Amino acid sequence: MTIREFKMPDVGEGLTEAEILKWYVQPGDTVTDGQVVCEVETAKAAVELPIPFDGVVHALLFEEGVTVDVGQVIISVQTGPADEAPAEAAAAAPAVAAAEPEAPAARQPVLVGYGVSTASTKRRPRKAPQPAVAAQNGTGVAHAAAAPAAPAAPAAPAAPVVVPAQGGAGKALAKPPVRKLAKDLGIDLAAVVPTGDGGVVTREDVHAAAAAAITPQTVAPAVPVAPEAPAAAQAAPAAPVQVPAEVSGSARETRIPVKGVRKVTAQAMVGSAFTAPHVTEFITFDVTRTMKLVQELKDDPDLAGLRINPLLLIAKAVLVAIRRNPDVNASWDEAAQEIVLKHYVNLGIAAATPRGLIVPNIKDAHAKTLGELSQALSGLVATAREGKTSPADMQQGTITITNVGVFGVDTGTPILNPGESAILAVGAIKLQPWVHKGKVKARHVTTLALSFDHRLIDGELGSRFLADIAAVLEHPRRLITWS
């Protein structure tokens, strides 16, 4: 038979590793060209990986939860005629291999057809469980090759909402964000009672399990118990995965591993701050007319069903200002010692998600109508909140908006997204006393802060660009007259 190896691909976003979130296949399963075999989490997104050939799964080289370097073999597939019965092939690799393969000498190219599946993900039917019961090692990773008798089983009664996994259920069903939450809290998903549709474990289930695991330690000593209670209390330590090892009532510090989004964000911010010379300028102005226009657009039947808010008009104002000051839409090519002028605008919107800060961008935002821009913004935000933002959505941004005003903050000094020339921070819009037509009145006022790369943008250009954005928002009719 012929064994082919599938390596962790380079998804084209400049990353060198990814964490395996979930395997959709097991040894012995038949796979076809283009079938999704696993889901991995890069530093910026959860991505499904399709296999590029047909065959029968021979072995899975890494467990779920393991971070793998790009280029390492993660799965082997039998593609030729079998020299032995399929049952023997499946028995030869019933569990994930423990040894890591040798790392290749160079990064592998992006696979043809690689990308995030546009169709809804369907989970494969669960296989019957192996006779061996997964046991927890010191790191909280389950090994399928553990002894048949699970010593942690008697501990189940200690936590009312945490029960042993039911026979035949296999591994727990849960979305990647929920799996990450459980991992962070030290909760074994296989021992959580699911309440979601189809037996899916939800975030609420994980929080309930975590609360139940902690409660016996703090409440039980103060409540009278039956004679049998001490035995149950003694059994509780047999399930250490219910409480994070690094958290206790007397702990003064908690150490959190730096990885994923936080790791890449830290590297990018340090690199940007110490590579591009930042300059930040501020402007405070009256946006009362813009707020009135927002309300009028909300009442417009032609825009029914669209999300209309101040951020939409701010984004449109930025696009108009770029049209008037095209040189701000550029990047610095250090290797070639060239300034690259962009004749398109991929408008980034900084989004705070459960996975951390990400900056997806709206491709060719300059060519979109107000309605199209509204739809793109709504889709971008919804996708980010669901943790489904693809790597392609975060590539090739040209300029970014970060809305710190939603937190009640007046302004800030934002750091450039690497590879971009400018970032605009939008402050809170508040009613303030303001001189209007010679009289002090209550007006809607906000502050914008523009940080830009001084290698690309001189003070004059940066000032004109920021002033134009403010002028459009102060008198929104300029959205028409300046377009």
Catalytically annotated residues: 454
Q: Are 61 and 49 in contact (CB under 8 A)?
A: no
Q: Are 261 and 357 in contact (CB under 8 A)?
A: yes
Tokens matching residue 238 = 């047999």
C-alpha–C-alpha distance, residues 393 and 45, integer Å: 10
C-alpha–C-alpha distance, residues 125 and 120, integer Å: 16
DSSP letters spanning 113-167: T-S--SSPP-PPPPPPPPSSPPEE-TTS-EETTS-SS-TTGGGGGGSTTB-PPPT
Question: Bridge partners of 280?
Answer: 451
| Sign (positive or negative) of CA dihedral 381, 385, 386, 388 | positive
Q: What is the CA radius of gyration of the chain?
A: 27
Q: Is 6 helix (H, G, I), strand (E, B) or coil?
A: strand
Tokens matching residue 373 = 């821009």
Query: 22-27 long-range contacts, Cβ below 8 Å, gap at least 24?
Result: 22/64, 22/176, 22/179, 23/60, 23/64, 24/123, 24/124, 25/57, 25/60, 25/75, 25/124, 26/57, 26/60, 26/127, 27/57, 27/58, 27/59, 27/60, 27/89, 27/90, 27/92, 27/93, 27/94
Q: Is 68 helix (H, G, I), strand (E, B) or coil?
A: strand
C-alpha–C-alpha distance, residues 82 and 152, integer Å: 40
Question: Bridge partners of 59?
Answer: 76
**Which one-letter amino acid corresponds to residue 447?**
T
Closest among 280, 415, 275 to 359, alpha carbons compared: 415
Return the residue matching tokens 């939450």.
181
DSSP letters spanning 408-456: T-----PPPPTT-SEEEEE---EEEEEEETTEEEEEEEEEEEEEEETTT
Return the residue matching tokens 């009442």.
299
